[in-house]
Structure 1
Amino acid sequence: MRSSRWIASGRWTIGALVPFAGLLPPQRISSASRDTPVLLVHGQHDTTIPAAASTLAAAMLGAAAFKVDLDIEPVGYTISSSGAEKALAFLKRTIA
């Protein structure tokens, strides 16, 4: 979830962020990029990166005043069509 690290550091400002099955390392979260809307999408049955990683990332970003949506999909370590559709809708809604 390198892009999440970028907005968490406050170094980069981007229009919106949708990481799939990501992991945000423990770090200080800057609120400098808090206007970046974030949708975290993760598979509930992911055995590579547990879904708890996205739940924790959502909490960390939320505590730094980011607007974060979290979608846990009933899949493993993959991008489901449902998750892709939700990501597209989120991007259209937040960047348009």
Structure 2
Amino acid sequence: MPDRLVILLHGVAAFGYDLDPLAAVLRRALPGAAVIAPDAPFAYQQGPGRQWYSLEDVTPENRAARIAAARPAFDDLISTVIAGQGLSDRLERVALVGFSQGATMAFDACASGRWPLRALTLLSGRFVTPEPFAPPRTMPVLLVHGSADGAVPPQETRHATTLLREAGLAVESHILRAVGHTISPTGMKLTRRFLRETFGGVAV
């Protein structure tokens, strides 16, 4: 049984293995931890890959409903991954790291209070504030976004940073100059350092 678990959530039109470079970095940084990147529950509707919720005809007005409709499948998947590592009753040993649409779902999962985990890392996400908004105050959060992101504006991360800080969470936030919609080497380094520091306080 691993002493810690990091679950990586990929973006739309991708698969879990697309996060293998980040997974390799984290496995080296966190000896004894399991790092798992599952595929999203749904097939991408416009080509190969998977998705957490549909982007067809999505608008700012209907995005929240799309996310809410995706919660049961998301929660089933996360529950299965955690149970498979024997950590269902030890969520303080589990962290979520989401990129793009994966970050959107990770934010919703934790900010809604459904998943009170050890730590949350959000990379280049688009964030919809859930109702109720009840993030666990003991959960540190890292947000990273590229200033040149042409897919998701960095203002999304700035807004989420403000919301989480106002809710009393310890939030570290970075807008990386001249970085687009990607997990950059700097983003990987920030994630590695954040999780090493965060998990450092867990007795194993």
TM-score (norm 1): 0.92
**Which residue of 152, 173, 182 corresponds with 1:49?**
152
The Cα shift of 1:87 comes to: 0.8
Which structure 2 residues correspond to residues 1-96 of structure 1 after superposition, within 5 A?
Answer: 1-28=104-131, 29-31=133-135, 33-74=136-177, 75-96=179-200
Matched residues, number: 95
Higher relative contact order (CA closer than 8 Å, sequence separation 6+) = 1
What amino acid maps onto 1:64 in structure 2? A
Runs (5+) with no aligned partner, structure 1: none
Percent identity of equivalent pairs: 34
Contact 2:142 2:194 (8 Å CA) reproduced: yes
The Cα shift of 1:83 comes to: 1.1
The Cα shift of 1:27 comes to: 3.4
Residues 34-71 of structure 1 show CA distances to partners (whole Å, capped at 9, x for unaligned) of 11110001000001000000000011111111111101
Contact 2:137 2:167 (8 Å CA) reproduced: yes
Contact 2:150 2:181 (8 Å CA) reproduced: yes
Between Structure 1 and Structure 2, the one with more strand by share is: 2
CA distance in 2, matches of 1:69, 1:34: 14
Higher mean displacement: 21-30 or 81-90: 21-30
What amino acid maps onto 1:94 in structure 2? T
RMSD: 1.1
Rg larger for: 2
What amino acid maps onto 1:20 in structure 2? L
